[in-house]
A and B are shown apart, each in its own frame.
Chain A
């Protein structure tokens, strides 16, 4: 099959970018979208051109590295999967496909389709961990966790940190990412001692770089793990509570 790619090229962070068109023919419909991009890059290099920069790593939907906005939808038209799990059979022969990078002020441009997602790491560094004494691993089942709680925490922990939620959000907000990272610890007993300090620190770090939630729900649909915006509501509630529960802690740092 043959497709026409309308693809974003930008030589560097400060340089002007624009769309470039490429016809890619001889594509097998069982190829993944990224394999099609590889073929295009091979041809560009053979022709003496510069390959299109894009990110990918595991190519099986678990690492969260790949990030393309395909025809206006982060990770493309197939819902609940990452870009690497999208196959060319989802497109019709002769299709004209627009490919853009994640767009948000929190994701500064690096080159072509690559953006800097470090600010997501900053949010995790602000509180997305538990503080424990190191030593030998505790016995299994020493700390009982209800099955339903474990399942919900796992749903949140399924976040692979790709940033599709931010890319899809018309406000450039990272509430779904932050909420997932808050919830998977705040739901579990191990996360309780730092629960309110965590949500407070992570939300306030998030606000440094990203926009605010207007409850469109675009993030949930774009998420390759289909993480629910219910977690945003949970984060909001914990954040409000933190402002009351943490008052004694706050006084220590005043």
Chain B
């Protein structure tokens, strides 16, 4: 039998997160959480296409509902902030894992080939470290524009009037172009990430392996397609719900 070496081991969670496999597992779990967010964010915003009933805009009602989920069991905003904190923690861990793994990988491959012919790596997989930061930068910009309503980003912002804020922001061509570019970057990130997470989590079974790629591509097309449709609906004015 193998001799038990009496080396002092660190806490098992520290060892787990210290390993490349553990970090990728954390990246995948936080990726699933962030994917869940982008899916529901897209579905929620499709309300711009619901025609108003009795003059009430559904997108504004939806915004009110988000602020009052589980009210009166919980005060206003509490549940929303629980979700927000979850997303903030997921983002921080996702980025931390990315930074430490990127550092390790750069150290593990100090010199590349003068000519490397990629055989399998897709454009999406090779640009993850570009599309990720781009999406993060966009999210901060997007929050300043449509959540915080900071003046230089969105001077006509009215707190709580989602329909007004959307129209104020997304009828500016430059803004819409940037939103579209960011969504395409998100699409590349999801295209690889949503397949990659199955590998990182070890979800591998001949029964559903073929469906993993399909899942990633379908979710990507639905999320990016839906978001672009919302952008177009607001910009070209064919969304009846705002």
Q: Is B199 an interface position by the 8 A CB rule?
A: yes
Q: Is B54 an interface position by the 8 A CB rule?
A: no
Residues of B within 8 A of A232 (CB): 199
Inter-chain contact B108/A105, CB cutoff 8 Å: yes
A residues 130-186 in Cβ contact with B at 8 Å: 131, 168-173, 175
Which listed segment binds B: A25-33, A50-58, A210-218?
A210-218
Residues of A within 8 A of B118 (CB): 216, 218
Residues of B within 8 A of A203 (CB): 19-21
Using an 8 Å CB-CB cutoff, how does the interface string of A36-47 with B read, 1 for contact, 0 for none?
A: 000000000000
Instruction: Please count how many residues in chain A sit with their CB below 8 Å of the partner chain's CB atoms.
Output: 57
Which listed segment binds A: B6-14, B33-41, B84-92?
B6-14
Listed by A's residue number, 8 A-B pairs whose Cβ atoms lie within 8 Å are: A105-B107, A170-B105, A170-B109, A214-B125, A215-B200, A222-B119, A237-B204, A240-B25
Inter-chain contact A240/B21, CB cutoff 8 Å: yes
**Which one of B1, B7, B22, B101 contacts A253 once the chains associate, using CB atoms below 8 Å?**
B7
Residues of B within 8 A of A222 (CB): 119
Residues of B within 8 A of A236 (CB): 21, 24-25, 199-202
Q: Is A62 an interface position by the 8 A CB rule?
A: no
**Which one of A100, A211, A220, A233 contacts B198 once the chains associate, using CB atoms below 8 Å?**
A233
A residues 104-139 in Cβ contact with B at 8 Å: 104-106, 131
The answer for the CA separation of A71 and B114 in the assembled complex, in Å, is: 9
Inter-chain contact A221/B119, CB cutoff 8 Å: yes
Residues of A within 8 A of B15 (CB): 204, 243
Instruction: Please count how many residues in chain B sit with their CB below 8 Å of the partner chain's CB atoms.
Output: 53
**What are the nearest 9 A-B pairs in CB distance?**
A237-B202, A211-B108, A233-B204, A212-B20, A172-B108, A216-B121, A172-B109, A171-B105, A217-B120
Residues of B within 8 A of A (CB): 1-2, 4-9, 12-13, 15-16, 18-25, 101, 104-105, 107-122, 125-126, 128, 192, 195-196, 198-204, 209
Using an 8 Å CB-CB cutoff, how does the interface string of A214-231 with B read, 1 for contact, 0 for none?
A: 111110111000000110
Inter-chain contact B5/A253, CB cutoff 8 Å: yes
**Which one of B9, B109, B209 contacts A105 once the chains associate, using CB atoms below 8 Å?**
B109
Using CB atoms, name the residue of chain B closest to A133.
B1
**Which one of A168, A229, A254 contacts B9 once the chains associate, using CB atoms below 8 Å?**
A254
Inter-chain contact A173/B20, CB cutoff 8 Å: yes
Q: With A104-B108, A233-B203 known to touch, is A221 a contact of B20 (CB < 8 Å)?
A: no
The answer for the CA separation of A194 and B2 in the assembled complex, in Å, is: 10
The answer for the CA separation of A197 and B117 in the assembled complex, in Å, is: 37
Using CB atoms, name the residue of chain B closest to A77.
B117
The answer for the CA separation of A131 and B4 in the assembled complex, in Å, is: 14
Q: With A69-B113, A105-B110, A170-B121 known to touch, is A211 a contact of B204 (CB < 8 Å)?
A: no
Inter-chain contact B105/A254, CB cutoff 8 Å: no
Q: Which of B20, B114, B118, B125 has the most CB of A within 10 A?
A: B20
Using CB atoms, name the residue of chain B closest to A206.
B20
The answer for the CA separation of A232 and B204 in the assembled complex, in Å, is: 9
